[in-house]
């Protein structure tokens, strides 16, 4: 196959308008395994001050070209415009109708393409992305034909028969919706008004003064993930200097979300493997050490993946430090009602921060507590100091949403609005949620009992009982987790997390054998 070369960089294109800023950062020649093809590669960078913000990537149609290139792209040297023009490289790579992309005032797209040969896909250089560490586990599970297999990867509630579950109250709400025969016109950018009202009230309490005073900007989002992403885009636009702080460990997608939104982040200590508990001192020290005005991402309840939440007293101390440091708390509430079985108890961390008068961001999800996974229903709430600020913030969230997805889907929003807004359905939901949370608590207990009975090593497994929510963070390392999957067909994330929502009482013993084997026989 004939090689095609594509060199591109991402950076502020306006920098290229300054001739002085131009620098050939690295140049190299590579010979592919086919001697007929000799390819010059020129990577164009910026002067050193700008290099940090410059991403350069080079893609090759022929994989054989790239290793040689890697070896020779190390020596930076300067080349003037005329040198570019006088070299073959310049003509081929940069020449565009005789002009240079670096001419002052010329707007240039930041992409250089040199086609050395034809008949090759323009996407040859697109590399294979790795499978998602969580959703990829489900794909692997589906491909496994062993009948003992068990999917404890994704946090999705299953019945005792290990079947997906649609809540009865959801079915009822859907029947009501069908009877009403409502239309499918576009929602406004901010989503369904009845949903936005219901979701803010569910989170903060209907009689919370911040709601009454109109200080909450609520925008319907594409479930928890989409709401977090919208907030991250907002942070990037309005707080370009700010950093996000993420717990270590955290739900894996948090890092992706901030990376994609180009919000720099760092981690704060959270989990202490020695105590299999919260590293509270470490957390406080790291939150204190972060630059003032950072966005501190907190799991409102049922911390994923550890299942370890701060106590109410610890939450107060965390709030003290956040307030002292002028940080902005950013809650991810993906499991309201699933930690304790009670919606209000699980919102108490958020409510206590709000009652201090703090401005707070809160992303919500109805994937788990209403089982609306695929409906993609959630919200981003920004509690502001004044109604005026809330109005402006909301207008900007809408402005960010419009070019991304225009407006959100209606079906899930109607279900939530109907369930929360109808006292009878609301009570049924609470009862069903208690049932779901109760089933998880039962298997948690059963797993602990079984491990304590079968494991003769004297290891203390009581940490499993202290964890809450859907997950248990087993302490199994990557290799041990791989053994769980490869030998026992137990699918789980490689950080040692198991979703107890995917476990039945009947499977506890099998899981116990798998854990004991992996823990003691695999280093």
Question: H or E element: which one contains 463?
Answer: helix 463-466
**Considering beta carbons, is residue 373 or 463 the nearer one to ligand PLA?**
373
| Alpha carbons 169 and 415: distance in angstroms, whole number | 9
Cβ proximity of 228 and 258 under 8 Å: no
Q: Rounded to the nearest whole angstrom, what is the least distance from the CB of residue 365 to ligand PLA in the complex?
A: 3
Tokens standing for residue 386 = 């004044």
Q: Rounded to the nearest whole angstrom, what is the least distance from the CB of residue 373 to ligand PLA in the complex?
A: 6
**Considering beta carbons, is residue 112 or 484 the nearer one to ligand PLA?**
484
Q: Give the list of residues 6+ apart from residue 153 with CB closer than 8 angstroms, or none.
A: 134, 137, 138, 141, 491, 492, 493, 499, 502
**Considering beta carbons, is residue 365 or 512 the nearer one to ligand PLA?**
365
**Considering beta carbons, is residue 60 or 338 the nearer one to ligand PLA?**
338
Q: Rounded to the nearest whole angstrom, what is the least distance from the CB of residue 132 to ligand PLA in the complex?
A: 8
Catalytic site residues? 251, 332, 368
Tokens standing for residue 486 = 């490869």
Radius of gyration of the chain (CA): 27
| Alpha carbons 368 and 470: distance in angstroms, whole number | 9
Tokens standing for residue 147 = 């009948």
Tokens standing for residue 304 = 């994923």
**Considering beta carbons, is residue 332 or 359 the nearer one to ligand PLA?**
332
Cα maximum dimension of the chain: 80
Q: Rounded to the nearest whole angstrom, what is the least distance from the CB of residue 387 to ligand PLA in the complex?
A: 28
Q: Rounded to the nearest whole angstrom, what is the least distance from the CB of residue 155 to ligand PLA in the complex?
A: 3
User: Which of 459, 438, 461 is closest to 448 using CA atoms?
Assistant: 461
**Considering beta carbons, is residue 243 or 299 the nearer one to ligand PLA?**
299
**214 conformational bin, left if phi > 0, alpha if psi -120 to 50, beta if neither:** left
Residues that bind ligand PLA (CB under 6 A): 134, 154-155, 223-225, 251, 253, 299, 304, 332, 334, 365, 367, 373, 378
Measured CA to CA in angstroms, residue 217 lies from 199, 227, 363, 468, 517 at distances of 12, 13, 12, 30, 51
Q: Rounded to the nearest whole angstrom, what is the least distance from the CB of residue 270 to ligand PLA in the complex?
A: 13
């Amino acid at each position: 196959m004939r090689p095609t070369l594509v060199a591109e960089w991402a950076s502020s294109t306006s920098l290229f308008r300054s001739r002085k800023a131009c620098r050939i950062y690295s140049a190299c020649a590579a010979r592919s395994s086919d001697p007929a093809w000799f390819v010059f590669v020129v990577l164009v960078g910026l002067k050193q001050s700008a290099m940090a913000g410059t991403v350069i990537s080079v893609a090759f149609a022929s994989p054989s070209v790239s290793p040689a290139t890697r070896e020779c792209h190390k020596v930076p040297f300067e080349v003037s415009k005329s040198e570019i023009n006088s070299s073959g490289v310049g003509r081929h790579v940069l020449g565009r109708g005789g002009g240079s992309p670096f001419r002052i005032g010329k707007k240039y797209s930041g992409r250089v393409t040199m086609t050395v040969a034809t008949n090759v896909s323009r996407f040859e250089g697109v590399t294979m992305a790795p499978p998602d560490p969580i959703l990829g586990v489900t794909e692997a599970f589906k491909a496994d034909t062993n009948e003992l297999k068990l999917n404890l990867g994704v946090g999705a509630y299953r019945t005792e028969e290990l079947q997906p579950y649609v809540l009865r109250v959801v079915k009822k709400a859907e029947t009501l919706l069908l009877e009403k025969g409502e239309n499918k016109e576009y929602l406004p950018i901010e989503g369904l008004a009845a949903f936005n009202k219901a979701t803010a009230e569910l989170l903060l309490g209907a009689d919370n003064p911040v709601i009454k005073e109109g200080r909450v900007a609520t925008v319907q989002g594409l479930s928890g993930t989409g709401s977090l992403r919208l907030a991250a885009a907002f942070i990037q636009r309005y707080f370009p200097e700010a950093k996000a702080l993420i717990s270590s460990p955290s739900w894996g997608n948090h890092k992706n979300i901030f990376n994609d939104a180009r919000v720099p982040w760092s981690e704060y200590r959270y989990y202490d493997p020695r105590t299999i508990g919260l590293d509270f001192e470490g957390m406080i020290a790291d939150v204190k050490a972060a630059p003032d005005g950072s966005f501190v991402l907190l799991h409102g309840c049922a911390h994923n993946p550890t299942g370890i939440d701060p106590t109410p007293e610890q939450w107060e101390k965390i709030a003290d430090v956040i307030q002292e440091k002028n940080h902005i708390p950013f809650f991810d509430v993906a499991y309201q009602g699933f930690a304790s079985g009670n919606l209000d108890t699980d919102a108490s961390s958020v409510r206590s921060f709000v009652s201090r008068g703090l401005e707070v961001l809160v992303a919500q999800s109805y994937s788990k507590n209403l089982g609306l996974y695929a409906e993609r229903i959630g919200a981003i709430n920004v509690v502001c100091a004044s109604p005026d600020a809330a109005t402006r913030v909301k207008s900007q969230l809408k402005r960010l949403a419009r070019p991304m997805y225009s407006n959100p889907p209606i079906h899930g929003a109607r279900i939530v609005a109907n369930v929360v807004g109808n006292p009878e359905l609301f009570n049924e939901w609470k009862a069903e949620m208690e049932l779901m949370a109760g089933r998880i608590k039962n298997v948690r207990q059963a797993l602990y009992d079984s491990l304590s009975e079968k494991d003769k090593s004297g290891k203390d497994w009581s940490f499993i009982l202290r964890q809450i929510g859907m997950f248990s963070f087993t302490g199994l390392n990557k290799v041990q987790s791989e053994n769980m999957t490869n030998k026992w067909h137990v699918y789980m994330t490689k950080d040692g997390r198991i979703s107890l929502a995917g476990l039945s009482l009947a499977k506890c013993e099998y899981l116990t054998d798998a854990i004991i084997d992996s823990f003691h026989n695999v280093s």
